[in-house]
Structure 1
Amino acid sequence: MTYQHPSDLHRVGQVRDLAKTEADAFLAFHAAVFRDDGVVPRKDRELVALAVATANRCAYCIDTHTRGAAEAGATGQEMTEVAFVAAAVSAGGAMAHGLLSHRLHRDQQGHAKTAPTGAHGHG
């Protein structure tokens, strides 16, 4: 059994019927973001979306924005390169969170020496 099916993308109408206000707001936002008359060209918008979809590991978004990027004129090479941009930024984010973890651990070790027994700092 697989959980992702391309046919799920056709359920938008059914979901809209269940939450019309929210769905309409989302669809209006989506239409505004992917408009053709912005300063950022449609192809670039689709390539950014594809990179984010890749980083977020959303198969549905990868499907949609691969098609959208191709329709907007993106090449296979451009789509492949943005996947590597997404990978690098994701790796950089992991490294940055590693730095945060390192600092928090150091701060907690310093705090543990001065905190009374049983004290917990929740932030």
Structure 2
Amino acid sequence: MYDSKNLERLGQLDAGAPQGMDAFWAFDKAAFAEGAIDAKTKQLIALAVAMTTQCPYCLELHTQAARDAGASNEELSETAVVAAAIRAGGAITHATHMFAK
């Protein structure tokens, strides 16, 4: 199902729902703008979220954006490990439900 060429169809969403998509693109731009958190860190956060949601489009786009912002292989690797820890931690903490009386 994943094909990066699908991203070329985003224009169909823009044309079909211009008001909503304009709002989305403005929100996206604002979310990734430099602020209290620098651009590279925001991209690393996006990558961690993408790994936990397992979105291949986000992985591709935000990996490139993180690299463009100066992220090293070590930073990308540590981001992956943090994402894995959060997913594993969710399984562990949800396991406590097995012991409910």
| TM-score interval for Structure 1 and Structure 2 normalised by the shorter chain | over 0.9
Normalising to structure 1: TM-score of the pair? 0.77
Take 2:21 and 2:61, find their aligned partners in 1: how far apart are those partners? 18
Q: How does 1:33-112 map to 2 (within 5 A)?
A: 33-36=31-34, 38-103=35-100, 106=101
Normalising to structure 2: TM-score of the pair? 0.93
Residues 61-87 of structure 1 show CA distances to partners (whole Å, capped at 9, x for unaligned) of: 000000000000001111111011000
Runs of 5+ unmatched residues, structure 1? 107-123
Higher relative contact order, chain-length normalized (CA < 8 Å, sep 6+): 2
Take 2:20 and 2:95, find their aligned partners in 1: how far apart are those partners? 36
State the partner residue of 1:32. 30
Question: For the structure 1 residues 100 and 77, does the alpha-carbon distance in structure 2 shift closer, same or farther, using more than 3 Å as the test?
Answer: same
* Runs of 4+ displaced beyond 2 Å: 100-103
Take 1:33 and 1:23, find their aligned partners in 2: how far apart are those partners? 15
RMSD: 1.1
Q: Which has the larger radius of gyration?
A: 1
- The share of aligned pairs that are identical, in percent, is 41
Residues 94-116 of structure 1 show CA distances to partners (whole Å, capped at 9, x for unaligned) of: 1112213433xx2xxxxxxxxxx
Runs of 5+ unmatched residues, structure 2? none
